[in-house]
Structure 1
Amino acid sequence: MSKSKQTLSPGQALPVLDTDRIERVRVSLAFLPLAAPISDAKVLTGRQKPLTEIAFIFAEIQTRDGHEGVGFGYSKRAGGPGMYAHAKEIAPNLIGEDPNDIAKIWNKLCWAGASMGRSGLTTQAIAPFDIALWDMKAKRAGLPLAKLLGAQRDSVQCYNTSGGYLSMPLPQVLDNIDAARANGIGGIKIKVGQPDTAADLKRVEAVRKHLGDDFCFMVDANQQWDRGTAQRMGRTLEQYNLVWIEEPLDAYDHEGHAALAASLDTPVATGEMLTSFGEHAQLITSGACDFVQPDAPRVGGITPFLQIMSLADFKGLKLAPHFAMEIHLHLAAAYAREPWLEHFEWLEPLFNERLELRDGRMLVPNRPGLGFSLSEQTRKWTSESASFDGKS
């Protein structure tokens, strides 16, 4: 069978591909109120105040050809207005760009604010745009984001965190556990790290007894132990058959985490507080954890998250993304090794759609993109917004 092909005359240039272009960007700041103040060990040690609301920065991107994408970043306690201000500063850089060139756009936005650094608030402000572009790309393909990335599975094992905070008395925690298990959860995590380690052990023992010997159980110290305390508590906690001990030390103490991970049978998990690929690369290459816990909105979006995934897989680590299950479900579904997903119902009022939990696993939705649209309640909680187009 003969094939026809286009030939060019000598000196004739290739035709210019007329691709779609970003035409409009809307950035907004909204505050999600929590039903009750939340406290973990950082509050009990006096380092932070109870959490009462979460700031969200939303990016809504539209193109000349009518395609749309939605993404978000967030901040607990301070930082939301600062992220929003930086997002507004860099948003005009998207206008006129090809929305398919996501890596190019990420670098452009990063260098726009590079004098303020390439981690922390500056990269977190990029995340809403990057996530919106990936959402758009999957929608254009008519695929859930997980399928666009190359899904390894159609569901991800899922554990609950929101029912195990230290601000909740133990009987309430046990009731929350029963409700979560009835709803189909696959694992339970509770907070530890109190100044009184005996109180921590009492809660852990009670929860393990309540769960039974085999149900998946994790604890999270939220960076509140020093090295000696972490070593002693880690040895004591071995008897409870934990899936992992999370953030036993300061997030940037890679050497301490590496020594602890090497000395304990119980796996160590950390990474949620890091805000760039570079920070995660240092964590991973130093052998500081068994489970790596990146957060796409914190590291700058899906583009750097995929880099972290590749390095973590190369190093043989397991993955348990932090928070934002609406985004991380798709990313975890594309990871080569069986991951965990963190369940928080807090964000449900922000979106019109819901995720489905079944037999301990969260199902990847079959809706294109991330599979979510902003609710009217989100619009009501929005305190500021700004729009940019080619005329701005």
Structure 2
Amino acid sequence: MYGIARYPSCVMRGGYHPMRNKRWTAITRRSYVGRMSNAAVLDRIASVTLSSVTLPLPTGISDAKVFTGRQRPMTEVAFLFAEITTESGHEGVGFGYAKRAGGPAQFAHAREVAPDLLGEDPSDIGRLWTKLVWAGASVGRSGAATQALAAIDVALWDLKAKRAGLPLAKLLGAHRDSVRCYDTSGGFLHESVEQVKDNATATLASGIGGIKVKVGQPDWREDLRRVAAVREHLGDAVPLMVDANQQWDRPTAMRMGRALEEFGLVWIEEPLDAYDAEGHADLTRALTTAVASGEMLTSVGEHHELIRHRAVDILQPDAPRIGGITQFLKLATLAEHANLGLAPHYAMEIHVHLAAAYPAEPWVEHFDWLYPLFNERLECVDGRMHLSARPGLGITLSDRAREWTVEKSTVGG
């Protein structure tokens, strides 16, 4: 039955029934299948423009990695933007980023593999991701190699949603139209605890629901003093998180985790090295407070180690860091199967859509750093970040982003 139904009725007429007549030849079948395949291609990629954009930060940013001497204050963020145009005139935009180092490497790799997209059907996103991975297979399937593909992958998803006339979350299948959100940009260690409290007050007044503050200083007692002061300032009802940025060893993390229990935190983030799945698992079993991690990992496989060890309560993947939306969706399925919470890291313009499509109620991280790059802003009301009705990601690059472009490359067009 199914074999008959897939052939056109015109082939059935005049005694040419494919299941009974040998005059239905292999050549005829190939010709028919070829015509149907060509007919299904609605559009093709005509050009890809890549831009390396350096975003300056108003002040040097310091977390525990600076206070422990492992990094210098961050003064800028390098972004890789991909703009894809099709023969029919549709456009998609995506981005990835690198902090402190790696931006030029991402741009160089993306520029090398971008020509392989020309003439391709932009709807075949999974196949194109694999094609680009194999184009650069000698440099691996994680880190800068796949981070360079993230901007392209995100642009393809943006394009697909725009062609459908839908916000990306709706294309994926949204579970909600808004997600819980918390702010990180006001809780860094380079600011005094009084300034952090003032920042938190302004953040809550702007409609954002939770506050995250940085910990992990060489003097752990100072961490406790800061957290206690912020909790007292906020009261018990406001969601509060802390982030150690991988700066504790196992004994310190256990001691600090137990000391922090009294503050009713939503989670303790990156208490250990990001790749220490066993250490995270020990903490997760020992503490009442949820343990969160994942932002520094650069592939689905690396995250799977956290899942396999039951090492975290809340997974924090970063779509640009793991290769884009295609990879994020694979990881989200694994996280859902393991009954994990989800709180994507950074890049809220992308992650609000992906979080809205996750079955369990997630969190999205709010950063105001990226505001100058886009003409649009996400709306936060009553502690929740709302999806816009704009198709795709709902963003367009600002004139300022164009001004901050340090290198640009276009293929096709």
TM-score past 0.5 threshold: yes
Q: Write the mapping of 1:138-149 to structure 2, written as runs, cut at 5 A.
A: 138-149=161-172
Per-residue CA deviations over 1:140-188 (Å, capped at 9, x if unaligned) read 0000000000000000000000000000111110100000011011100
**Structure 2: how far apart are the matches of 1:277 and 1:111?**
17
Please list, as runs of the form range in 1=range in 2, the aligned pairs for 1:1-392 lying within 5 A after superposition: 6-8=9-11, 9=16, 10-11=24-25, 12=28, 13-14=32-33, 15-16=35-36, 17-18=38-39, 19=41, 20-389=43-412
Identity of aligned residues (%): 64
Question: What's the CA shift for 1:388?
Answer: 0.3
Q: C-alpha separation between the residues in 1 aligned to 2:156 and 2:109?
A: 18
Q: Secondary structure at the match of 2:141?
A: coil
Aligned amino acid, residue 97 of structure 1: E
> SS in structure 2 opposite 1:69?
strand
Structure 2 SS opposite 1:369? coil
Task: State the alpha-carbon separation in 2 of the partners of residues 330 and 82 from structure 1.
Answer: 28
Q: CA–CA distance in 2 between the matches of 1:113 and 1:44?
A: 37
- Scaled by the length of structure 2, what TM-score is found? 0.92
How many residues matched?
388
Higher Rg = 2
Deviation at 1:22, TM superposition (A): 0.6
Q: Which whole-Å deviations, capped at 9, do the CAs of 1:191-236 have from their partners, x for residues lacking one?
A: 0000000000000000010110121000000000000000000000
The residue type equivalent to 2:154 in the other structure is: I
Q: Distance in 1 between matches of 2:72 and 2:111?
A: 28
Q: Per-residue displacement from partner, 1:233-268 (whole Å, max 9, x unpaired)?
A: 000001000000000000000000011101100000
| Partner Cα separation in structure 2 for residue 199 and residue 112 of structure 1 | 49
What is the alpha-carbon distance in structure 2 between the residues aligned to residue 193 and residue 132 of structure 1? 36
Cα RMSD of the aligned pairs, angstroms, is 1.3
Equivalent residue letter for 1:225: W
Quote how far apart the aligned CAs of 1:96 are: 1.1
Task: Output the CA distance in 1 between the equivalents of 2:310 and 2:74.
Answer: 32
Task: Report the TM-score when normalising by structure 1.
Answer: 0.97
Question: 1:337: Cα distance to partner?
Answer: 0.2
Which letter maps to 1:343? H
Runs of 4+, deviation exceeding 6 Å: none
Tell which deviates more after alignment, 321-330 or 345-354: 345-354
| CA–CA distance in structure 2, aligned partners of residues 6 and 210 of structure 1 | 74
Aligned equivalents of 1:93 and 1:272: distance in 2?
29
The structure where helix makes up a greater share of residues is: 2
C-alpha distance in 1 between matches for 2:236 and 2:373: 37
Partners in 2 of 1:282 and 1:220 — Cα distance? Answer: 21
Gapped regions of structure 2 (runs ≥ 5) = 17-23
Describe the superposition over 1:119-148 as per-residue Cα deviations: whole angstroms up to 9, x where unpaired: 000010000000000000000000000000
- Partner of 2:388: helix, strand, or coil? coil
C-alpha displacement at 1:285, in angstroms?
A: 1.4
Name the SS of the counterpart of 2:391 in structure 1: coil
Give how far 1:65 is off. Answer: 1.1
